[in-house]
Structure 1
Amino acid sequence: MSDHWNTPDAIERSENASQSRNSDRGGLGPHKHLSGQSSYMNVQQNMEEELGRPVSLGEVFVKTHTRADGTFVDQKAKQVAEAYEKNIEEVMAEMDSDGLETSDHSSQQSTHRTLSIQEKDDIFLKCTETDDKGNHFGLGRLRDTINKGKKRKQCSESSSSASLLEIQQLREEERNNESRIKNLEMLVSYLSTSNPGLAEFIANQAPPTAAASEPSSST
C-alpha cells in the first residue's frame, strides 16, 4: 500500500489535493468547518431531533461554520451566511409589504406567512458558490439530497404532465362520442319523420337475447 503512495502519479494527486484544500480562495483562506467527524447530514438530523422540526440548508451551514463565541470559522463562511440572512430578510419584508397592500384593498387583516424549508433552501443555494463540478460550498454530502430532490421533483412533474394529458385526451374522446351520438339521433329523427315505416321498423327491432343467440342443443 505504501508503495502506491510513493508512485509519481499518487504523489502528484496528493499534492494537487493538498493545494486545493489549502488554496487561498481569492484571499479568503482554506475552507474550514466545525462538524468534526460528523457528516453534514448527521448534523442536520441531530438539529431536527433537537428542535423538533425540519431545518434548512442555511441553518446547517451556520451551525457548522460558527464558533461557540458566535464568530465564523473563516471569511468565506461569513460572507455566505450574511448574504443568506440578508436575502431572507429582503424576501420576508417583501412578503409583509404585499400582505399590507392586500389588507388595505380587501379591508381584511393579512396573515403573516413564513418561508417554507424549500424556499429557504432555494435562497441559500443562490447565496453560496459552486466549484467546477457544480458542488455547492459548505454543504458536504447534503448536496446529494439536493440532487435527489430535484430528480424527484422532475419525475413528479413529468408524471403529473402525463396524467393531465391523458385526462385531456379522454375528455376529448368523450366529447367526440357525444357529438357522434347526437348526430346519429338527429339522422334517425329525420328519417323517421320522412319515412313513418322506418320508425315502426326501428321500434320493432328488439335486441337479441342471450337465449335466442345460443344454438339449441339436440337431444
Structure 2
Amino acid sequence: MDNNTLSIYVHELRNQFTNLQASFDLFNQSIAAKNGQGILYTGGMILFPASQIVSILWPTRARSRGRGEALRKVFQLEEKHVLNDRRLSEINEHSDTKTEEWIAKTKGQQIVFDFVGPRAELDTIEPSENGELVSDENIYRAYDPDTRVYYYRGVAYNMNAIATALADVSGRVNNVYAQMFPEQVKREQEFVAAQRKAIEEAEAAQQAADSAKK
C-alpha cells in the first residue's frame, strides 16, 4: 500500500474514532441521566462508526482482504481480535433487508422493541402462544445497564468489550497519524491549548467580576 493511500485510510479511521468518542460521551451521559431514548439512540451511534472501522480493518469481501491485511500490518493488529466479528462489520450492509429478514424470522413470536432495563425482566413477559419466552434473537433494540449489553436486530453486543477494543485500535491509529503528520499534530495541540487558555481566562474574568459585585 502506497503512502498516499495509507494516509487517506489513516485520516478516515481517525475521523471515525472522533465520531465514536462523541457518541460514547453522549451514551454515558444518557446512562447517567437515565434517559432511555437517549441510551438507545446513542448506542446505535456507537455501533455504526464501529462497524465502519471494523469493515476497513477486517473486511469480509475477498477482494478487500489484501487492504485489510496491509492496514493491520501497519497498526500491528492481529487477525484474531475482539472487533473481527462479522455481526459488527456487517451492521451497515443491506440494513433494510436484514430488518425484513428479522421480521419474517420472528413472525408469530414474542418480540421486544426499544427496551431499557435488566434483561431478566423480559423473562417476566407473558410467553407467546407456543409458550416461548423472549429470546435474544427476538429483541430488536434494547439495552441492559447491568451487563452493559446492547441488543440490535437480534444480536447482543457487549459495549464494554467493544469500547476496550476500540480504545486499543484508536491508540494505534493515533500513533501512526502522529508519525505521518507531526506538524499537523503540533498545530492541533496548539489549537487545543489556546482554546483551553481562553476558557480559563474567561472563567477567571467571570470570577473576578462576581467578586467585585460582592
State if a TM-score over 0.5 links the two structures. no
Structure with bigger gyration radius: 1
Higher relative contact order (CA 8 A, sep 6+): 2
Higher fraction of strand: 2
